[in-house]
Amino acid sequence: METRSIKTLLALYICLSIFISQSWSQSAAPLSTSKPLKGEGLYSFLKRHELNDTDHKTLFLELNKGKFGKDNALLAHQAYTLPATAIELHEPLFGKEREHYPLESDIMKDAVFYLVNGHGGPDPGAIGNYGKHELHEDEYAYDITLRLAKKLRENGAKVHLVIQDEDDGIRDDRILTYDNHETCMGATIPLDQKQRLKQRTLKINELYNKDTEAYRRCLILHLDSRSTRKQIDVFFYHHQKSKSGAHLAKVLRQTFENKYNKHQPTRGFSGTVSDRNLYILRNTTPVSVFVELGNIQNFRDQQRFIIADNRQAVANWLYEGIKKDFYQKHKNK
């Protein structure tokens, strides 16, 4: 690489390390310094500080120009400046313990998502009984939605959380306490079902019309309510006329089946994909998929919701399916 190119890259890198402006609040990790251990070479030094020899060596050498011996040998008395390795993102809605988190990759930088958990505000949705406790649909759907949003943002996607609760954040409790603090991006959620659906649908379409990303998808997360004896797997709806919605739904379903076959090979998976003429599927502009995460009344399905690791697994599997669809429908064009 020519010296001029290196200097240009270095200047851009340092500027990015100081401040990066994206659609969500974020800051960069400060540059730090370190001295080499006795007898430590350049490769070992970089490896010890979790720096990639391919990606970070050129920047490291330029940042520390004049501090090396022959053939870029490290000098024991020198404190070397380390390139920043992570961009820190910030989202207060994820809660105090998780509001700061690193950008892990930019593999989904060309994608934007509109995530909607069912119900909220004055409407708790379906209510299940678990011992002496009540399980409220909106609380568990919201927690999984937040976890999915975080996973998408960690990998470079832009995410709109259409339903928001400034108090809750991602929670690891088994019993998620009910409240009615949710808003539709700051607006009070109506009690009337039709008005509630209309409000979030209009917000999704408003956001969609402002976004320019080529890959735009909406996911609506709900919990179903059936007989306590009825155990169901995650299932998916799309609009009848949406081929892209059907494709995403099928990819998500296959992802869940693959995961269950890997982790519980004797269990089987009976989740389905079908079209439904639901209001939000019929009226949203972006490609949309409606996800039913299980039966809030069934004891076995309840384990999918009350255990935090299981809620995270559901979010992770949704992300894996979305990522596969993204590559098939967008990256491979």
pLDDT, one tens digit per residue, over 150-208 is 999 999 999 999 999 999 999 999 999 999 999 999 999 999 999 999 999 999 999 99
Check whether residue 71 and residue 116 sit in a common domain. Answer: no
Q: Is residue 99 assigned to a domain?
A: no
Of the pLDDT bands very low, low, confident and very high (cuts 50, 70, 90), residue 19 is very low
> Given this model, what pLDDT does residue 333 score?
59
pLDDT, one tens digit per residue, over 41-75 is 999 999 898 887 766 788 788 889 999 999 999 99
Structural domain ending residue among the three candidates 87, 115, 135: 87
Answer yes or no: is pLDDT of 23 > 70: no
What number of CA atoms fall less than 13 Å from residue 123's CA on the CB side?
Answer: 21
Check whether residue 79 and residue 110 sit in a common domain. Answer: no
Containing structural domain, residue 294: 105-331
Q: Is residue 221 assigned to a domain?
A: yes
Check whether residue 155 and residue 218 sit in a common domain. Answer: yes
Check whether residue 149 and residue 199 sit in a common domain. Answer: yes
Q: How far is it, in rounded angstroms, from Cα 203 to Cα 197?
A: 10
Check whether residue 245 and residue 129 sit in a common domain. Answer: yes
Closest CA to 306 of 134, 97, 92: 134
Check whether residue 78 and residue 46 sit in a common domain. Answer: yes
pLDDT, one tens digit per residue, over 283-305 is 999 999 999 999 999 999 999 99
Check whether residue 17 and residue 163 sit in a common domain. Answer: no
- Phi then psi dihedrals of residue 164, to 5 deg: -135, 145
Average pLDDT, the chain: 89
